[in-house]
Chains A and B, each alone.
Chain A
Amino acid sequence: MTEFELIQGLRNGDESAFRYLVDTYQNRVFNTAMGIVQNAEDAEDVAQEVFIQVFRSIGSFKAESKLSTWIYRITTTRSLDLLRSRKSKKRFGFIQRLLGEDNEPTQDIPDFNHPGVELDRKENAARLFKVIGKLPENQKIAFTLHKLEDLSYQEVSEVMQTTVAAVESLMHRAKQNLRKLLEKELE
């Protein structure tokens, strides 16, 4: 099935086209979401939301970019939304604890282990993911798409709707920040 046929099928509400779309992109979407939200359950939730959004708004897709680029864009946006809502819940929980309304002890988020990392690198990768989580949003997206999804700077720039030079700069700053954060971690 060509991309054009797939888009036409989706626009016509063809279920086999939707099935093909999910089969083709589910791992890319899940892997990207996993790198950003760093939790398998949340990543599945995000992936489901992404496909639902693709299905519902395929009519507004103008095909100015590749379908994969559009899907990556939705995935990163949805993942960041989840991180923001997680943060606001955390803040709300903190206020509740201050007011004495919720006396449950806070649970520390366990280290994230990406299933695709080789066994002997798991400990280092967990440390890296911990500091990736502290990066500014755009640096986090650029780093995740490039390192985890193996997208070129050109592809990352298309997803992020920016220039290749901007992505290069983001990656450079991301690496610098990660280095600083790791220095602190290792002290």
Chain B
Amino acid sequence: MNTNKENRIDEILNSLDGCTQATAPDFFYTRLKARMEKEVAPAARTSWMLRPAYAFAGMAIILLINVLAVFNQPGTEDNTATSEVDTFQSLASEYRLNEGNSSISMYNLNQDK
């Protein structure tokens, strides 16, 4: 390497000697505080979801969706019908409505007419 080049490199390497400290820009503290407040604010903003009115409305919507989902399930009606017949049959046998009492009830019904 020639001496000129070496001197040039040394010159560049020493260019930071005596360099003074860069100072932070004006109003640094003001901007820093503004940023800190801004970073805290979003957490407060999300709290609207926790207000009772919104919370209850949300719960009501979820409940409504669930109720609709239960009643709109395919095959629900058939199952209900079968279970209703089973219940009536078991009640009838329990109270012996299929035997002698049934004629009384039929008689009474006919009398009402």
Contact = CB atoms under 8 A, between A and B. Distances in A.
A48 B1 CA distance: 45
Contacts of B20: 116
B31 interface: yes
B43 to A, nearest CB: 13
B22 A124 contact: no
A128 interface: yes
A147 interface: yes
The size bracket of the interface on A is 35 or more
A34 interface: yes
A175 interface: yes
Nearest to B32: A48
B28 A52 contact: no
Interface in A118-153: 118, 121, 124-125, 127-128, 147-149
A172 to B, nearest CB: 13
Interface in A146-187: 147-149, 175, 178-179, 182-183, 186
B22 A121 contact: no
A47 B27 CA distance: 13
Interface of B: 1, 5, 8-9, 11-13, 15-16, 18-25, 28-29, 31-32, 35-36, 39
Given A48-B31, A114-B22, 20 more contacts: A22-B32, A27-B24, A30-B22, A31-B22, A40-B22, A40-B25, A43-B22, A48-B35, A52-B35, A114-B19, A115-B23, A117-B19, A118-B18, A125-B15, A147-B16, A148-B19, A149-B21, A179-B13, A183-B1, A183-B9
Q: Which 3 A-B pairs rank lowest in CB-CB distance, beginning with the nearest? A: A124-B15, A116-B20, A30-B24
